[in-house]
Structure 1
Amino acid sequence: MTTPPPTSLNLQFFNHSGIDPTAVSIGFVPGASNAAFSIINASNHAALQPLNISGTGTYPFAGNWYTLDQLSDGVTVNAFSGRVYVAYNGAWTVQSPAYEPAQAVTDPNFFLRYDKLEMTFNGQPADVANLTSIDYWSIPITLATSLNGSVVQTVSGLLGSANSQSVFEALNALTTPPVSGVVGPGGIDGQPLPATVPGEFQQYGTGPAPGSSFARVIGPTSYPSISPTVGLPVMPYDTLHSYLAYLLDNFGPGTAVGSIVPSLGNGVFAHIAGQFAGVGPDVPSSGPLSRQSYTLEATIDSHLNITLSGALSGVAGTTSILYKQADLTNPSGIYGGNVPFYLNGATTATNPGNDVYGWVGGDLLAGLNIGAVGSTATVGGVTGVPLPTMVGAINSQLWFNIPSQFFFANMQATPNYNQWAATLAPLSQAYNFAYSDRFAKVFASLDTANIDTLTVVLEPADVSLPS
């Protein structure tokens, strides 16, 4: 008789940060208000509480934080799905029941130093944990799973010789000086500010006063909308408008088919084609949630709007999906992977979801992030691509088979790609853009048939701001 795997997980913390354990705070934020939550302090067997839920129902409140010295023996996780936050030298206060800090100068926690990891554990084989630097980068963390003390898998927050200072300097260079050209209320002269926090930020209205030490580098996805109104702070990164202009100039209406990339031109700049696995344990036989193939052509018009049109085998008729330029170039757009679309001529936009429309849009946005769309780079020997072929000419799902060393600068002669992701990719195994998981195994498995412990390692954290 075989013994069933345990249905709980040991979660431990190793503090290599250089920060005193009493100044390191840990908090658990569930991904949904009704999500199962059972975490026990291994030292005293007390039940932990979700970070953002006040027992009195009164907000703002300090939050249910636990210092590392309180969690010296780790915790036992029976059920949790959400984010584990780490804060240094002052934890953020909870402003409302569903609150997590906003990357805005008016947020009372803006100038504090914090970061996060994500995990799902319900005692199921598909349970996972991952690091993420999509929104911002602050505290380098490594995840290590083990069984009976032997390491099974590692997801490294710092790769090779990278350290906190070198990551900071590489990211800081992307917006020093700011390159977006978007004018707004972000600085003294109305120009966007570098992404370093506190950097050159000032106190705005009743917002918090800047500190003097490093807090975060804000990623391009975390900035507020730049259209139709400019939020605060103003995004300083490349908006990727030039990438769309490149596609129009080289493959837009009236250009010769095949003159630059085989089969592309006269409006068509990519072939969005592949297989969608469907949704749920009981996948329906038809409709947007069904398992199906898709074959669509991506076209661009003179206003830099993109349309995907063609056939979805699970949906009757021809499908047309329109993405407007203003939505693509917003921080939540190509960077954030969350572009609203207009389906089949609708005048009201739909937000992407977990269905075939969200999946094919993910192909397009993933290709734009890594620079595969319209790329003249040549690959061969890739699964499904037996002969040397230009990347831009192959079907989108085949982009996922290309080794990651070909991404970004190796796809495009100019920086037509997500430069934040390109900078982080050789430095950390954290998610660096929304579709990283289509190209790489960025998760640590929490399947208790193979592991019993997840260790969160807080790496050395020293960062010196430029004088």
Structure 2
Amino acid sequence: MAHHDSPRSQEAAPKGVPIVFGPLGGFAPDKVLVHFLGGGKPGVKGRYYNKSTGTMEDLIRDTPYSLAELTSPVSVGGGAPANIPSVFITSYVSGRIYISLNAPLDGLGCCYQPASANPNDPNYLIRYQYIEPTVDAGGMHVNMSYIDCAAIGLILTAVNAPHSKNSPLATLVNTTQLVTAAANAATPPLANVVPSPKDILPSPKFARVLPPMAFHDATNPNPLYHDWTSYLKTTLQRQAIHIQGCFAGSQAGGIPQRERLTSQGYDYMATVDVNGNVTMTAQKGSGKANPTCGGIKGDGIGDQSTVTITFAELNATNGIYGCDPGYTWSYVDPHGKTQSDTTSSMTNDVFGWVVGDLLAGLNFGFPGSAVTFNGIPLGGLSSTRWWGGTMPDGTVIDPANTPAGKNLLFDKAQPAKPTNYNTYAASLQGKATAYGFSLQDRLGQVLMEFDPAIDPNSYLMIELNVDQ
């Protein structure tokens, strides 16, 4: 049963963040629907004004709401204006807000997320896009993701928030330009368009463009995008890859060896053998506890450490493209005992961070690149120097003064054929401040944050781009 109270009681509502929808890119409010999925066990906690009853009501997870239904004649709270679609969120941790056009999503319920590449999914022919918000005691944290599909161009703006970070997250071109560029990243071009290549915008049948990670359940290399055979087995032969930086530490549960979770510097040299397998070997001084890196104290893993990743794991869709391969690690702990394990996916510890640097670099095309930056080949720079951050010795690399900061990414890092970078993520470059693959946050800029406790009357505005 939804909670009801009077419109006036919203003035005493708990702290939270309003979300306001608009402008809508020419789409009618009754044709734009929003759905609050995920968010852990409690799901979304928030309210909207129900015009039919004249009361504030609880938002319900996995429920479609048209924006006409959410257009409130009174403010939902905070700085949200009246007479524009809006909700007030008090808590929502790692949730997803799905926006669909012309029809609500079907089959919603516990743990369901639309499978964008599955023709048997009940929402396969519905056009939708999502954002990923967390609302907690620190305010709003939100990103815009095109990892699973590209269908609706969005712009996210922190309004009345002069202290916000990374606002706006913007799609800088109209949606037809965005999805056409993404569709041309596939092989052959437009083969990634749902429901068919001829249905690219402006076709009214257009549903979405499928990225590499839309096929994340596949065990074989993605059929619509290049695999990584040439990069790993040809370009990177006899090339040393330097992975170096700071791990801030992690509070991850269920990990028995605490050394893997503490703040520490890391310094590995990675090599690729003729079969495309990667071996990462710690250099002297790596794995040393380092308060410069973060605040989680304790012994690091030390420098008697290796990480290996097989070609099969890297070349699978969930490997370099999905940034989630399995790998094997080992280290000698402070008591002289060898610790080792083989994972099935990325783990939230120092090894996950080290592997993440390698995967992000491969997606961007940095390893093995002969393109120079300040006279040094990009492939000869250590990973933190690709995109910025803190080095183990405390040196801070300004992101603006890095290859990534100067836009030496993708084809600018690997201009020769065959293609040695993520062509789908490259197609979005300069067109959207959004995730094209999951470790694109190595560059920063993709997470917007603001706090109404610091910026009173601030709210998140979600705008839909025009199709043309």
TM category (shorter chain) comes to 0.7 to 0.9
**In structure 2, C-alpha distance between the alignment counterparts of 1:289 and 1:458, rounded to whole Å:** 40
Aligned to 1:83, which of 93, 96, 111?
Answer: 96
* 8 A contact 2:161–2:450 mirrored in 1: no
* Structure 2 residue 196 is the aligned partner of structure 1 residue 199: yes
Aligned to 2:269: 297
Aligned to 1:335, which of 321, 332, 344?
Answer: 321
**In structure 2, C-alpha distance between the alignment counterparts of 1:149 and 1:417, rounded to whole Å:** 36
* 8 A contact 2:271–2:279 mirrored in 1: yes
| Pairs within 5 Å for 1:23-422 | 23-35=31-43, 37-42=44-49, 44-51=55-62, 64-73=63-72, 74-81=86-93, 82-94=95-107, 96-102=109-115, 103-124=117-138, 127-147=140-160, 154-159=167-172, 162-177=173-188, 194-199=191-196, 213-227=205-219, 235-249=223-237, 251=238, 265=239, 269-280=240-251, 287-310=259-282, 311-313=286-288, 314-316=300-302, 318-344=304-330, 348-380=342-374, 388-401=375-388, 402=402, 403-414=405-416, 415-422=419-426
Aligned to 2:434: 430
For the residue of structure 2 that corresponds to 1:358, the secondary structure is: helix
Unaligned segments of structure 1, at least 5 residues: 1-5, 52-63, 179-192, 203-210, 252-264, 381-387, 463-467
Post-superposition offset of 1:141: 0.8
Q: What letter matches 2:459 in structure 1?
A: T
How many percent of aligned residue pairs carry the same amino acid?
Answer: 28
> 1:151 and 1:369, CA in 2 relative to 1: closer, same or farther beyond 3 A?
closer
> 1:301 and 1:172, CA in 2 relative to 1: closer, same or farther beyond 3 A?
same
Aligned to 1:458: 464
Post-superposition offset of 1:393: 1.1
**In structure 2, C-alpha distance between the alignment counterparts of 1:85 and 1:226, rounded to whole Å:** 24
TM-score by length of 1: 0.77
TM-score by length of 2: 0.77
**In structure 2, C-alpha distance between the alignment counterparts of 1:319 and 1:151, rounded to whole Å:** 40
Q: What letter matches 2:247 in structure 1?
A: F
* 8 A contact 1:225–1:330 mirrored in 2: no
Aligned to 2:81: none
Aligned to 2:11: none
**In structure 1, C-alpha distance between the alignment counterparts of 2:165 and 2:441, rounded to whole Å:** 20
* 8 A contact 1:130–1:155 mirrored in 2: no
Post-superposition offset of 1:219: 0.6
Post-superposition offset of 1:95: 5.3
* 8 A contact 1:15–1:21 mirrored in 2: no
**In structure 2, C-alpha distance between the alignment counterparts of 1:346 and 1:286, rounded to whole Å:** 13
1:314-333 deviation line (CA, Å, top 9, x unaligned)? 11462221111111112211
> 1:433 and 1:149, CA in 2 relative to 1: closer, same or farther beyond 3 A?
closer
> 1:374 and 1:393, CA in 2 relative to 1: closer, same or farther beyond 3 A?
same
Post-superposition offset of 1:107: 1.6
**In structure 2, C-alpha distance between the alignment counterparts of 1:201 and 1:331, rounded to whole Å:** 26
**In structure 1, C-alpha distance between the alignment counterparts of 2:304 and 2:360, rounded to whole Å:** 23
Post-superposition offset of 1:442: 1.3
Q: What letter matches 2:413 in structure 1?
A: M
Aligned to 1:17, which of 25, 30, 41?
Answer: 25
Q: What letter matches 2:408 in structure 1?
A: F
Please give the root-mean-square deviation of Cα atoms over the aligned residues, in Å. Answer: 3.0
Aligned to 1:255: none
Unaligned segments of structure 2, at least 5 residues: 1-13, 73-85, 289-299, 331-338, 389-401
> 1:235 and 1:31, CA in 2 relative to 1: closer, same or farther beyond 3 A?
farther
Runs of at least 4 residues of structure 1 off by over 4 A?
148-153, 345-348
**In structure 2, C-alpha distance between the alignment counterparts of 1:123 and 1:34, rounded to whole Å:** 15
For the residue of structure 2 that corresponds to 1:174, the secondary structure is: coil
**In structure 1, C-alpha distance between the alignment counterparts of 2:109 and 2:424, rounded to whole Å:** 31
**In structure 2, C-alpha distance between the alignment counterparts of 1:124 and 1:217, rounded to whole Å:** 34
* 8 A contact 2:165–2:449 mirrored in 1: no
Q: What letter matches 2:325 in structure 1?
A: V
* 8 A contact 1:146–1:153 mirrored in 2: no
**In structure 1, C-alpha distance between the alignment counterparts of 2:195 and 2:312, rounded to whole Å:** 29
**In structure 2, C-alpha distance between the alignment counterparts of 1:7 and 1:316, rounded to whole Å:** 44
For the residue of structure 2 that corresponds to 1:108, the secondary structure is: coil
**In structure 2, C-alpha distance between the alignment counterparts of 1:123 and 1:343, rounded to whole Å:** 36
1:241-271 deviation line (CA, Å, top 9, x unaligned)? 221123344x2xxxxxxxxxxxxx4xxx201
For the residue of structure 1 that corresponds to 2:441, the secondary structure is: helix
For the residue of structure 2 that corresponds to 1:288, the secondary structure is: helix
* 8 A contact 1:155–1:443 mirrored in 2: no
* 8 A contact 2:91–2:135 mirrored in 1: yes
For the residue of structure 2 that corresponds to 1:417, the secondary structure is: coil
* 8 A contact 1:85–1:115 mirrored in 2: yes
Aligned to 1:439: 443
